[in-house]
Structure 1
Amino acid sequence: MRTRVAIKIHSILEQYFPERRVFLKSDTDTRFIRLRPGTQVIAFGGCALLVAWAIVATAIILMDSIGSGNFREQAKREQKTYQARLNDLSAQRDGRAEEALAAQERFNAALAQISVMQSELLSSETRRRELETGIDVIQSTLRGTMKDREAARSELADLQSKIETGGAGTASAAPAGSTPTDFLATALAQTAAERDQVIADAQDALLRADEMAHQIALMEDQNDQIFRQLEEAMSVSVAPLDKMFRSAGMPTDRILEQVRRGYSGQGGPLTPLSFSTRGEEPSPDAMRANRLLRQMDTLNLYRIAAQQAPFASPVKRAFRFTSEFGFRRDPKTGGRRMHNGVDFAASIGTPLHATADGVVIHSGWASGYGRLIKIQHEFGIETRYAHLSKLRVKVGQRVSRGDHIGDMGASGRVTGVHLHYEVRVGGKAVNPMIYIKAANDVF
């Protein structure tokens, strides 16, 4: 059965692939190679496979070339989009910087206006107290004048009663060489003159009292206007600072209390004013003024606290963000790792500035960080400035916000020139952009 199938297959192959002979002739001999049907089938299959492989390989190469070209074009388009986005972010950052500068100028103008208004308020209160004292003196003088007028009237009545009784008593009391009628006329004239003078003094005192009352009313209106302007200025000044601290996650009550306890220089807590020297309850104006002074004290504490917290950017020249806070792909190993700060990229030597008042606790080389500066601030906050090209501060040196502390570089574990900026609270790294964004509307 197997032989029969083989014979049938061989006959079919003979139809399509008949046996062929290839003759090889030399000078002395002639030989041939027999190509049987099976051999021809194998050779044909091999050639077909080779041609198919060549076609498939060529197609793959063409598709890969076309795909790589599209990928490069797509990469170029994405790069242009990314560059446009960076330019847009840079423009937005510059706009925010201008807005912050304008807000700072408005803030300083409001503080100057508050100082002027406070001086006007104190001078107006002093003037009002002087007017009140003058009214008291006028009223006491008026009362004395009224008593003198009543006494003169009593004397006039006595004289008139003596005249009606015949002047006996008057005659005995008259001085020598004068008649009772002359003495009586002189006494009546003096009494009338004193009465007229008392009436004139009383009318003048009433006019002065009316004028002073009118001045007091005008001063009260002026004081009320000054109070309203001061209250509005306090609201405009304190609200952004309070929002800034709350946006940064800092408890304002605890921060203000800490500043109040520890701050002892100029600009500390103000002493409330008292406009009463008689042991009386303070007036509504005094209570209002003391409330404003407490708000000014709060504003002052906020300003002190704002100087001691990192509410600023360490780079003031043109830059771009190259890495945010959080998990990212490591630029060296490619693995997913935590990035504890924010990276600012700019040219080498770009000046770097302290973001808050503090004390330098490290200034030197640190593994991975390269040239590193650490600054300790109030409220348990620490800032770090890494990969610097030059250090401009020393350990133990006290710095203020905006001081030039170093230059941008590429020291340590880096792939290019940039600043690695960290903020740590209680030793734990937090996102520095929380503080920078919170201060956008204030500084």
Structure 2
Amino acid sequence: MPRRILDRLNTRLERWLPEQRLFMKSDSATRFVRLRPLTQASVLAIGAGLFLWSTVASAMLFIDGISSGSAVQNEQVAKLAFERRLDALSKERDARAAEAHAAQQRFQTALEQVSKMQSTLLASEERRRELETGIDVIQSTLRRTMDERDTARLALAKSEGKVKNAGPTQAARAEDMAKTVDMLTAALGETAKERDAASDDAKSAQVEMDRIALEKRLLEERNNEIFTTLEGAVKISMEPLDKVFKQAGMDPNHVLAEIKKGYSGTGGPLTPVALSTKGTADLDGDTARAESILRKLDEMNMYRIAVDKLPFAMPVKSHFRFSSPFGWRWGRMHEGVDMAAPIGTKVYSPADGVVIAAEWERGYGNIVKIRHGFGITTRYGHLNKIRVKVGQKVSQGDWIADMGNTGHSTGPHLHYEIRISGKPINPMTFIKAGKNVF
């Protein structure tokens, strides 16, 4: 049966693959090998399979080679792009830090200008009061001169009455007339002099009053310009400070109240311009505006103190990267942010405070804890070296430690926490709000 099938296959294949004979001749005999169609088809199929296999294998090897080269190149390109991005972010951060420093300088300059304007305002107010006193004196002199003029006129009228009532005798009349004329001439001369003097005094007084009124009006206009400038400067300076505390989740009024409770520094609170037992209702417009500006300046001074007491500044000033954010991580709460940089990178206090811990603590390694105002504490973990002691007072920007890799840490970095009344909050809240200050 198989033989018959093979014969049929050979018969069908002879049309395309006729039988071939391979002759092999020697010295004594000649032999040949028959290559039937089925044998030829098998050889061709095996050859085609080998050729196809070698082609596919070569193509796969070639593609693998290209793919591996592209992967390496892609990795290098991605690495370069990532490094460029890091450089750009570092430069941008440095630029923002420079802008914050410039803003702080502008703020200090504005405070100095406000202080100078305050001195000018007080001097102007004193000058205005002197001018008002001068006006009162001139008006009193004018009234006295007018009274003397009226008295002289009354004396002249009495003299004229005596002349009309003189005796009928001719001699007595002539003598009385002569005396009366002399008296009247003298009285009229004196009256004319007094009148002229009073008129000159009145004119001089009127000129002086006009001049003083003009100076007063100019002074009021100048004071109004100064007040307007001061009010605008104070408003511009106060708005970002209010925004800073609100972004940090703190009530500005509560902050000011707490600062006023413990304030004992020199230079403030600022002294009011005028005091009244009846409140501010009796104060004139300029004095009331001056009082309002001084209150705002006092609040600005309190804000400045509060900013130094709250952790708005960055604890790391050199190049670093945020390696881990605040929040849940691997099923556990990460209570701070991680800032990665080389070992030995300086760590600074972001606000004024007192060191309450400087020790080794499980998990944190070397750790520093600082208590600031308003129930806020900050923690700095995984330190390489601690630069402060317990009980030491630190100011914003003081060097407190070196970054390290102690405790439960996978690489050199700073673990930075902010806690309010013991509860951890996201430090980025204060860091982002602090961009409007530093």
Pick from 344, 361, 381: which aligns with 1:366? 361
Q: Which amino acid aligns with 2:207?
A: L
**Residues 146 and 198 in structure 1, CA contact (< 8 A), matched pair in contact too:** yes
**Structure 1 residues 60 and 253: CA distance shift in structure 2, 3 A:** farther
Identify the residue that residue 411 of structure 1 maps to in structure 2: 406
Pick from 372, 376, 380: which aligns with 1:377? 372
Identify the residue that residue 128 of structure 1 maps to in structure 2: 128
**CA–CA distance in 2 between the matches of 1:78 and 1:227?**
59
Identify the residue that residue 434 of structure 1 maps to in structure 2: 429
**CA–CA distance in 2 between the matches of 1:269 and 1:62?**
82
**CA–CA distance in 2 between the matches of 1:305 and 1:277?**
32
Q: Give ranges in structure 1 of 5+ residues lacking alignment.
A: 1-7, 14-55, 173-177, 329-334
Identify the residue that residue 273 of structure 1 maps to in structure 2: 273
**Shift, 1:209, TM fit:** 0.7
> Secondary structure, in 3 states, of the residue corresponding to 2:283?
coil
- What does 1:209-220 align with in structure 2 at a 5 Å threshold? 209-220=209-220
Q: Which amino acid aligns with 1:432?
A: P
- What does 1:159-178 align with in structure 2 at a 5 Å threshold? 159-166=159-166
Identify the residue that residue 140 of structure 2 maps to in structure 1: 140
Normalized against structure 1, the TM-score is what? 0.78
**CA–CA distance in 1 between the matches of 2:331 and 2:85?**
25
Correspondence 1:390 to 2:391: no
**Shift, 1:100, TM fit:** 0.6
Q: Give ranges in structure 2 of 5+ residues lacking alignment.
A: 7-55, 173-177
**Shift, 1:60, TM fit:** 10
> Secondary structure, in 3 states, of the residue corresponding to 1:312?
coil
Deviates more, 1:272-281 or 1:83-92: 272-281
**Shift, 1:71, TM fit:** 4.9
**Residues 267 and 300 in structure 1, CA contact (< 8 A), matched pair in contact too:** no
**Shift, 1:362, TM fit:** 0.4
**CA–CA distance in 2 between the matches of 1:277 and 1:359?**
43
**Shift, 1:145, TM fit:** 1.5
**Residues 339 and 413 in structure 2, CA contact (< 8 A), matched pair in contact too:** yes
**Residues 163 and 180 in structure 2, CA contact (< 8 A), matched pair in contact too:** no
**CA–CA distance in 2 between the matches of 1:340 and 1:246?**
22
Pick from 350, 353, 365: which aligns with 1:355? 350
Identify the residue that residue 290 of structure 1 maps to in structure 2: 291
**Residues 99 and 441 in structure 1, CA contact (< 8 A), matched pair in contact too:** no
**CA–CA distance in 2 between the matches of 1:391 and 1:60?**
59
**Structure 1 residues 367 and 119: CA distance shift in structure 2, 3 A:** same
> Secondary structure, in 3 states, of the residue corresponding to 1:274?
coil
**Identity across matched positions, percent:** 52
> Secondary structure, in 3 states, of the residue corresponding to 1:429?
strand
Correspondence 1:244 to 2:239: no
**Shift, 1:183, TM fit:** 3.7
Deviates more, 1:273-282 or 1:149-158: 273-282
1:352-373 deviation line (CA, Å, top 9, x unaligned): 2110111100011111212111
**Shift, 1:318, TM fit:** 2.5
Identify the residue that residue 304 of structure 1 maps to in structure 2: 305
> Secondary structure, in 3 states, of the residue corresponding to 1:384?
strand
**Residues 149 and 191 in structure 2, CA contact (< 8 A), matched pair in contact too:** no
**Structure 1 residues 161 and 179: CA distance shift in structure 2, 3 A:** closer
Deviates more, 1:418-427 or 1:271-280: 271-280
- What does 1:58-207 align with in structure 2 at a 5 Å threshold? 71-166=71-166, 179-207=179-207
- What does 1:300-339 align with in structure 2 at a 5 Å threshold? 300-328=301-329, 335-339=330-334
Correspondence 1:423 to 2:418: yes
**Shift, 1:69, TM fit:** 5.8
**CA–CA distance in 2 between the matches of 1:358 and 1:285?**
41
Deviates more, 1:351-360 or 1:256-265: 256-265
Q: Which amino acid aligns with 2:367?
A: L
**Shift, 1:428, TM fit:** 1.6
> Secondary structure, in 3 states, of the residue corresponding to 2:282?
coil
**CA–CA distance in 2 between the matches of 1:278 and 1:345?**
61
Identify the residue that residue 35 of structure 1 maps to in structure 2: none
> Secondary structure, in 3 states, of the residue corresponding to 1:222?
helix
Identify the residue that residue 221 of structure 2 maps to in structure 1: 221
1:185-227 deviation line (CA, Å, top 9, x unaligned): 3233222212211111111111111100000000001000000
**Shift, 1:87, TM fit:** 1.3
**Residues 260 and 268 in structure 1, CA contact (< 8 A), matched pair in contact too:** no
Normalized against structure 2, the TM-score is what? 0.79
**Structure 1 residues 211 and 320: CA distance shift in structure 2, 3 A:** same
Deviates more, 1:318-327 or 1:293-302: 318-327
> Secondary structure, in 3 states, of the residue corresponding to 1:94?
helix
Q: Which amino acid aligns with 1:186?
A: A
**Structure 1 residues 319 and 127: CA distance shift in structure 2, 3 A:** same
Q: Which amino acid aligns with 1:112?
A: E
**Structure 1 residues 198 and 278: CA distance shift in structure 2, 3 A:** farther
> Secondary structure, in 3 states, of the residue corresponding to 2:389?
coil
**CA–CA distance in 1 between the matches of 2:290 and 2:366?**
53
- What does 1:252-271 align with in structure 2 at a 5 Å threshold? 252-271=252-271
**Structure 1 residues 441 and 298: CA distance shift in structure 2, 3 A:** same
**CA–CA distance in 2 between the matches of 1:382 and 1:247?**
18
Deviates more, 1:348-357 or 1:270-279: 270-279
**Residues 363 and 374 in structure 1, CA contact (< 8 A), matched pair in contact too:** yes
Deviates more, 1:406-415 or 1:267-276: 267-276
Q: Which amino acid aligns with 1:339?
A: H
Q: How many residues align?
A: 387
**Residues 382 and 407 in structure 2, CA contact (< 8 A), matched pair in contact too:** yes
**CA–CA distance in 1 between the matches of 2:63 and 2:428?**
46
1:388-432 deviation line (CA, Å, top 9, x unaligned): 222121111111111111222222222222222111112121121
**Residues 156 and 184 in structure 2, CA contact (< 8 A), matched pair in contact too:** no
**Structure 1 residues 181 and 113: CA distance shift in structure 2, 3 A:** same
Q: Which amino acid aligns with 1:341?
A: G
**Residues 323 and 339 in structure 2, CA contact (< 8 A), matched pair in contact too:** yes
Q: Which amino acid aligns with 1:438?
A: A
